Amino acid sequence: MAASRLRRCATVLFELREYCSFDFNSLISGGDGLALEQETLALAPHLMGSVAIDPAELIVLGGISSTRWCTRDELVGSCDTAVLDSLLAKGLLVAEDDALAVAVEDRVRNSHWWAPAAAMHYASRWQGIAAPEGARTSGPRPLSELYQSLGPPPPHTFERVSPEMRKALPVVPDTDFDALLDRRTTCRNFDTTRPLPLPAFAQLLRRVFGARGTAVVPPDVTVMKRTSPSGGGLHPTEAYLLVQHVEGVERGLYRYHPVAHALEPLRSLTQEDAAELALRMVAGQEYFSDAHALVAMASRFPRSLWKYRNHTKAYRAAVLDVGHLSQTLYLCATEQGLAAYVTAAINEVDIEDAFSLDPLEQSPLTVSGFGWRSSDQQTVEFDPLQRCWSIDDESSDTVRLKSQDAIK
């Protein structure tokens, strides 16, 4: 190792983090009673996380090239050997004769990610996170409770001009599509007593994720049309499914093939294992884990980065992609009389492990679920237009699900 040449990893960002704690000695000596501690974190995607570094390490790291290999003798003249060893141990320096470390770092170096996007993507992925107890069972905190603890939110809208300066727009009579939009609500109560029919399941997947057509653009680029827009027409989002309760489909993990309109079986699961994985996928949100099918929408990054290399907007386009698909899924499920949800509170790392995904190549950005809505509202759902649920009377807390004919 002593004779090995070194270089800095190509993609690394730094965060200056400050922690505040109570300091009794400061208080009794006339101070403000607060103790402040600062820490510098290095965010490097090839490390799958962040590492703390001290000021001396930061200075040394900033003086080492990420493209030119340097001998230790060249570097020792300007820094302490212990600092170099520490940076090597933390993975921020790479030794030329460490083939595995070089290969791992080279994958990020040659992947065409824009550095801040790569750091953000890796640093924001969850593993083993569970929602707080109240949120797991009863849904998001009521707005009244949030108001008490956080104060008033920004207003629901605002004005840029005075009311008399506004230009009123005509109100066009509603159509069936308006009614469909009004019925689109997030479901937190799924009926686990009856399976989802295979035709309904298949129709939804084809409408949302299926290829409506393909074409070959010279010299040899195949493009695909879906019902949702996609940056550059590339459609990088893959649908990975955890199927729990669908007629004719064995419980387990699948990938949906958008062109063949078929399921690719990846792994069978017991009912207990499926339920446990579903709960982990949605970070402990029990009301989401009961969906008949969960869809992890995973972006296939090389598909986008082939065109948008080191592009500042490539990751944003990937996020927009899953947003478009999520709304299309909502509307298609609603049109079929089914219920759906989408959540970004997911354990990406656990999902990657379950489906054997390489986060540099494919990673889930959101999870959606769909199935039959339960007639029993155990978890509060936001339906102010009462298109799915009806209240018996204003003085009652009893909420009843409207008939399927009424909500379809």
Which parts of 23-147 are beta strand (E)? Answer: 34-44, 49-53, 70-71, 93-95
Which parts of 329-398 are beta strand (E)? Answer: 339-343, 362-371, 389-391
Confidence of residue 1 (pLDDT cuts 50, 70, 90): very low
Contacts of 282 (CB under 8 A, 6+ apart): 288, 289, 294, 343, 345, 346, 367, 369
What pLDDT is recorded for position 299? Answer: 98
Residue 364 CA to residue 371 CA, distance in Å, equals: 21
Assign 198 to helix, strand or coil: helix
Residue range 81-92: mean pLDDT, rounded: 94
The predicted-structure confidence for 292-334, as pLDDT tens digits, reads as follows: 999 999 999 999 999 999 999 999 999 999 999 999 999 999 9
What pLDDT is recorded for position 380? Answer: 87
What pLDDT is recorded for position 386? Answer: 86
Strand order in the sheet with 93-95: 70-71, 5-8, 93-95
Residue range 143-161: mean pLDDT, rounded: 89
The predicted-structure confidence for 35-48, as pLDDT tens digits, reads as follows: 888 999 999 999 97
Residue range 29-36: mean pLDDT, rounded: 80
Q: How many CB atoms lie within 10 A of CB 214?
A: 11
What pLDDT is recorded for position 135? Answer: 62
Of 9-23, 27-41, 110-124, 161-175, give the lowest mean pLDDT range: 27-41
What pLDDT is recorded for position 394? Answer: 53
> φ, ψ for residue 152 (rounded to 5)?
-70, 140
Contacts of 138 (CB under 8 A, 6+ apart): 379, 380
Residue range 203-227: mean pLDDT, rounded: 96
The predicted-structure confidence for 6-30, as pLDDT tens digits, reads as follows: 999 999 999 999 888 888 787 788 7
Of the two residues 95 and 138, the one the predictor is more confident about is: 95
Residue 319 CA to residue 383 CA, distance in Å, equals: 26
Confidence of residue 403 (pLDDT cuts 50, 70, 90): low
Q: Is this structure's pTM higher than 0.85?
A: yes
For the chain, what percent of residues have pLDDT higher than 90? 76
The predicted-structure confidence for 226-273, as pLDDT tens digits, reads as follows: 999 999 999 999 999 999 999 999 999 999 999 999 999 999 999 999
> φ, ψ for residue 154 (rounded to 5)?
-60, 150
Q: Supply the mean pLDDT for the chain.
A: 91
Q: Which domains does the chain have, with CATH numbers?
A: 5-110 (no CATH), 173-407 (3.40.109.10)
